[in-house]
Amino acid sequence: MTSDNDISGDVAPPQVRTLADIGRIAGVSAGTVSRALAGSPLVKAKTREQIQALAREHDFRPNQMASKLRTRRTGVIGVVIPLGHERRQHISDPFFMTLLGYLADELTERGYDLMLSRAIPDDTPDWLERITSSGMVDGVIVIGQSDQYDKIERVAANYPNLVAWGTYRPGQIHCVVGTDNRAGGRMAAERLIAGGARKLVFLGDTTGIEIAERLDGARDAIAGRDATLVHLPCHLSNETMEGELREQLRANAGSFDAIVAASDLIAMSAMKVLHEQGMTIPDDVQIIGFDDLPLAAQTMPPLTTIRQDIARGAHEIVADLEASIAGRSKQHVVMEPILMERQTTL
Amino acid sequence: MTSDNDISGDVAPPQVRTLADIGRIAGVSAGTVSRALAGSPLVKAKTREQIQALAREHDFRPNQMASKLRTRRTGVIGVVIPLGHERRQHISDPFFMTLLGYLADELTERGYDLMLSRAIPDDTPDWLERITSSGMVDGVIVIGQSDQYDKIERVAANYPNLVAWGTYRPGQIHCVVGTDNRAGGRMAAERLIAGGARKLVFLGDTTGIEIAERLDGARDAIAGRDATLVHLPCHLSNETMEGELREQLRANAGSFDAIVAASDLIAMSAMKVLHEQGMTIPDDVQIIGFDDLPLAAQTMPPLTTIRQDIARGAHEIVADLEASIAGRSKQHVVMEPILMERQTTL
DNA sequence: TGATGGCTTGCAAACGTTTGTTAGCCCCGA
DNA sequence: TCGGGGCTAACAAACGTTTGCAAGCCATCA
């Protein structure tokens, strides 16, 4: 299973490692080399080109650490995913990954590097400060507030270059980009009721405030209508979710005719479990997801869901962050959720 | 849609920013503070604790840039995804993202930070050197060789701390961890033939060598048997894939009874398209995917696929890299693919 | 009493850039 | 002939740590 090709690691490193080395060869000072490589007009065009050619020839690139230290600008944005509740929630959660992908695109396009951290707040209370005040990043993006809302607030009070993905609460300090989760939850429940459902179930763990607001929204929709809503907690991590769901749905079989899922992933698992239990979707049970991940369109039947515009979210986050770094003001962005009608509703 | 809460960015930064600042308060030198915070036994226990308390109180953390420059160790691993062929392939490709997630877990557990880059080799020929010789990372992980095999070989010749995910070719220089793609392709085709299929189709673009080897494997399986294999190219990116597939499969309708898909994602799209076109899976057409992404088990019917052990792959990659950084020898890892029997085969 | 040695701590030299200031040089005009 | 100004390039001071070396202090021992 494992090849036995050992690979030796002995290679002579090239001799020219610093600006001074190049300078020595070219017969100029390190400072001049620095300017030449930066394309400064202060150095004569001819020597500039000579130096650049020399650097290319020796495959030389200035040490970024030294450069960053000197300029006090790193060109790096920290992206951190706090796994507050849901210790088991893997960083490879599809929603995070999708957002991360878009962020990577946005950031690289603007010349930033992206430093990814996974934080377990319960183990390391200073998970956020560790990133903001390490001198390693120009700004920080927090993906998901989880149960760390207060922590983020506190840090943001002293550290301006921070933008979070999540839910907006009036008066909050930290800049946030996200969807109106409450409106999304309401929209989902209303759609199910419009489809004839009366006994709704909400599937999801509400420790993270985003999810809690979706549940609140669903409750808003129920209020004053001839319908009921039961909340069945269920973890978000892939491994444990399906078993839990099977349990929950079996125990409550027959007592519900529609599901509001806190995420597309939960919706997909629920669909699978219901199918196993012999239910038809949407005839026996209607279901609506949340997120509109690319794979929501691929399920059978295709999943009706509440769409978050992740691509735009990533764009707004980076735009806000860049503004903040440049010293300009930034603003919260609360996006309206959109109902994607597919075939799991009547 | 957008709230108008402008957020001002004016905050007085704390006054204590350097070791020397702390030292001034504590009445010791910067050097001592450095040792104290590092927990060095060289400084008296009492002063050490005083200094640590002081640092905590002022919320001070040593500047990482300076530290890294001085120690010549960054604690950062670069992870780069070359999008060589497939310009349109988004970094949010589920396979990359899944591997990336596991890598993030492995790396953070071992105390490394992860710097993510997306590279478009066609635009920036020095995409890899830019990372290896920037002084910013202790090592580099390349996710997928794409069509950049030679480039990686060349760089690896001078830069030992590099590990790639991909295919192993006898005699290659750069350390690689991956699945035996050819065996996987063969396995898939053999399984389909065993299920009664005779007219196979391979779906996928073979510019990346990993995919090319899967196709070779499938051809191996055909050879000498009463079966045929047609290769239908199809891009890997989500947006364009489905349309292409619809086209391809319609044009060839009836002329095949089984599909070897180059990835689970392609398999899922194919299933959807076939369903639209009124085919039943697996009765009319059998299909086997590749990767065994978490969502392969969620399709309807659940997808038979060739499993790559991504979690183990991430583990091996990081282990190899760590060995290399420590100056120890590393070795290629070629994992055997595993056939995951589900319900898209007979 | 003086030397020895173990603890602590300070000193100062790196790490490799960037960049403000200074200095040489040459050409031009008065 | 001389002064001034425009180009170039060198000098040197940061950026904030880490760490080898030296030095001070105190106690112990001969």
C-alpha closest to that of B342 among B284, B234, B264: B264
Q: Looking at the structure, do residues A320 and A174 belong to the same domain, yes or no?
A: yes
Domain end residue (candidates: B7, B34, B62): B62
From chain B, pick out residues whose CB is under 8 angstroms from the CB of A113: 115-117, 136
Q: Looking at the structure, do residues A202 and A271 belong to the same domain, yes or no?
A: yes
Average pLDDT over residues A197-215: 93
Q: What percent of chain B is modeled with pLDDT above 70?
A: 92
Q: Which residue of B has its CA nearest to A100?
A: B92
Q: Looking at the structure, do residues B136 and B160 belong to the same domain, yes or no?
A: yes
Report the residue from A94, A158, A332 with minimal CB separation from B5. Answer: A332
Asked whether strand D has any atom less than 7 Å from the CB of B14, the reply is: no
Report the residue from B64, B93, B115 with minimal CB separation from A114. Answer: B115
* CA–CA gap between residue B118 and residue B146 (Å, rounded): 13
DSSP annotation of B301 reads S
Could you report how far apart the first and last alpha carbons of chain B are, in Å? 51
Q: How many C-beta atoms surround the C-beta of residue B75 within 10 A?
A: 16
Question: Residue B269 to residues A14, A265, B45, B204: CA-CA distances in angstroms?
Answer: 49, 18, 64, 12
Asked whether strand C has any atom less than 7 Å from the CB of B136, the reply is: no
Q: Per the domain annotation, does A46 fall within a domain?
A: yes
Q: Looking at the structure, do residues A174 and A314 belong to the same domain, yes or no?
A: yes
pLDDT attached to residue A4: 42
Distance of CA B341 to the CA centre of its chain: 25
pLDDT band at A288 (very low <50, low <70, confident <90, very high): very high
Q: Which residue type is seen at B165?
A: W
Subset of residues 64-123 in chain B with CB less than 7 angstroms from any atom in strand C = 66, 69-70, 72
Q: What percent of chain A is modeled with pLDDT above 90?
A: 69
Sign of CA dihedral A145, A148, A153, A155: negative
Q: Looking at the structure, do residues A286 and A324 belong to the same domain, yes or no?
A: no
pLDDT attached to residue B230: 95
Element (H, E) at B116: strand B113-119
Q: Which domain holds residue B322?
A: 76-180+310-337
Average pLDDT over residues A216-229: 94
pLDDT attached to residue A301: 87
Q: Per the domain annotation, does B11 fall within a domain?
A: no
Residue entry with tokens 């990359």: B96
Sign of CA dihedral B155, B161, B165, B169: positive
Tell which of A59, A83, A92, A152 to mutate to test the B interface (max B CBs under 10 Å). A92
Q: Looking at the structure, do residues A303 and A187 belong to the same domain, yes or no?
A: yes
**Is there a contact between B321 and B329 (Cβ–Cβ < 8 Å)?**
no
Tell which of B67, B133, B240 to mutate to test the A interface (max A CBs under 10 Å). B133
pLDDT attached to residue B106: 92
Q: Looking at the structure, do residues B257 and B247 belong to the same domain, yes or no?
A: yes
Is pLDDT at B273 greater than 60 in this prediction? yes
pLDDT band at B12 (very low <50, low <70, confident <90, very high): very low
From chain A, pick out residues whose CB is under 8 angstroms from the CB of B98: 92, 97
Asked whether strand C has any atom less than 7 Å from the CB of A66, the reply is: yes
* CA–CA gap between residue B188 and residue B338 (Å, rounded): 10
By three-state DSSP, how is residue A179 classified?
strand
Contact (CB<8Å) A327/B9:
yes
Contact (CB<8Å) B133/A61:
yes
C-alpha closest to that of B91 among A154, A314, A42: A314
* CA–CA gap between residue A31 and residue A340 (Å, rounded): 59
Asked whether strand D has any atom less than 7 Å from the CB of B212, the reply is: no
Asked whether strand C has any atom less than 7 Å from the CB of A72, the reply is: no
Q: Per the domain annotation, does B193 fall within a domain?
A: yes
Q: What percent of chain A is modeled with pLDDT above 70?
A: 92
From chain A, pick out residues whose CB is under 8 angstroms from the CB of B129: 59, 61
Domain tally, chain B:
3
pLDDT band at A98 (very low <50, low <70, confident <90, very high): confident
Q: Per the domain annotation, does B344 fall within a domain?
A: no
Q: Which residue of A has its CA nearest to B175?
A: A7
Name the least confident of A83-97, B174-188, B299-313: A83-97
Tens digits of residue pLDDT in A152-170 = 999 999 999 999 999 999 9
pLDDT attached to residue A156: 95
pLDDT attached to residue B60: 94
Q: How many C-beta atoms surround the C-beta of residue A188 within 10 A?
A: 31
Q: Looking at the structure, do residues A314 and A172 belong to the same domain, yes or no?
A: yes
C-alpha closest to that of B259 among B314, B312, B218: B218
User: Looking at the DSSP assignment, which residues form a beta bridge with residue B77?
Assistant: B114, B139
pLDDT band at B218 (very low <50, low <70, confident <90, very high): very high
Both structure tokens of B30: 């910067």
Average pLDDT over residues A5-12: 46
pLDDT band at B9 (very low <50, low <70, confident <90, very high): very low
* CA–CA gap between residue B22 and residue B54 (Å, rounded): 7
Å between CA of B40 and C1' of D17: 15
Average pLDDT over residues B172-197: 96
Q: Looking at the structure, do residues A155 and A210 belong to the same domain, yes or no?
A: no
Q: Looking at strand D, which nucleotides approach a protein CB closer than 7 A? A: 7-20
Is pLDDT at B20 greater than 80 in this prediction? yes
Both structure tokens of B79: 């992870």
Q: Per the domain annotation, does B342 fall within a domain?
A: no
Average pLDDT over residues A87-94: 60
Distance of CA B256 to the CA centre of its chain: 33
Is pLDDT at A3 greater than 50 in this prediction? no
Q: Looking at the structure, do residues A222 and A112 belong to the same domain, yes or no?
A: no
Q: Looking at the structure, do residues A331 and A241 belong to the same domain, yes or no?
A: no
Q: Looking at strand C, which nucleotides approach a protein CB closer than 7 A? A: 7-12, 14-20
Q: Which residue of A has its CA nearest to B168?
A: A3
* CA–CA gap between residue A244 and residue A250 (Å, rounded): 10
From chain B, pick out residues whose CB is under 8 angstroms from the CB of A273: none
pLDDT attached to residue A1: 45
Tens digits of residue pLDDT in A234-252 = 877 666 777 888 988 999 9
From chain B, pick out residues whose CB is under 8 angstroms from the CB of A134: 61, 63-64
Report the residue from A1, A11, A90 with minimal CB separation from B158. Answer: A11
Is pLDDT at B336 greater than 90 in this prediction? yes
Element (H, E) at B307: strand B305-307
Q: Is the peptide bond before A125 cis (omega within 30 degrees of 0)?
A: no
From chain A, pick out residues whose CB is under 8 angstroms from the CB of B74: 65
pLDDT attached to residue B87: 53
pLDDT attached to residue B341: 97
Average pLDDT over residues A142-150: 89
Contact (CB<8Å) A7/B329:
yes
User: Looking at the DSSP assignment, which residues form a beta bridge with residue A139?
Assistant: A77
Domain end residue (candidates: B62, B84, B114): B62
* Better-predicted residue by pLDDT, A240 or A330: A330
Tens digits of residue pLDDT in B77-133 = 999 988 865 554 455 678 888 899 899 989 988 989 999 988 888 888 899 999 999
Q: Per the domain annotation, does B231 fall within a domain?
A: yes
Strand duo B6-7 + A330-331: pairing: antiparallel
Buried b (16+ CB within 10 A) or exposed e, B184-206: bbbbbbbbbbebebebbbbbbbb
Phi, psi of B334 (to 5 degrees): -110, 110
Which are the contacts of B170, defined by CB distance < 8 A and separation ≥ 6?
Answer: none
Asked whether strand D has any atom less than 7 Å from the CB of A136, the reply is: no
From chain A, pick out residues whose CB is under 8 angstroms from the CB of B115: 76, 113-116
Is pLDDT at A7 greater than 70 in this prediction? no
Average pLDDT over residues A195-207: 94
Average pLDDT over residues B290-318: 92
Å between CA of A46 and C1' of D8: 11
Contact (CB<8Å) B1/A335:
yes
pLDDT attached to residue A14: 52
Q: Per the domain annotation, does B264 fall within a domain?
A: yes
* CA–CA gap between residue A337 and residue A218 (Å, rounded): 14
Mean pLDDT of chain B: 90
Q: Looking at the structure, do residues B174 and B292 belong to the same domain, yes or no?
A: no
Q: Reduced to 3 DSSP states, what percent helix, strand and coil does chain B have, rounded to the nearest 5? A: 40, 20, 40
Quote the minimal CA–CA distance from A41 to chain B in Å.
Answer: 24
Q: Per the domain annotation, does A4 fall within a domain?
A: no
pLDDT attached to residue B98: 85
Name the least confident of A34-43, A87-96, B191-200: A87-96
Tens digits of residue pLDDT in B39-72 = 999 999 999 999 999 999 999 999 999 999 999 9
C-alpha closest to that of A126 among A101, A96, A102, A155: A155
pLDDT attached to residue A9: 43
CATH for A134: 3.40.50.2300
* CA–CA gap between residue B164 and residue B141 (Å, rounded): 6
Mean pLDDT of chain A: 90
Å between CA of A65 and C1' of C17: 8
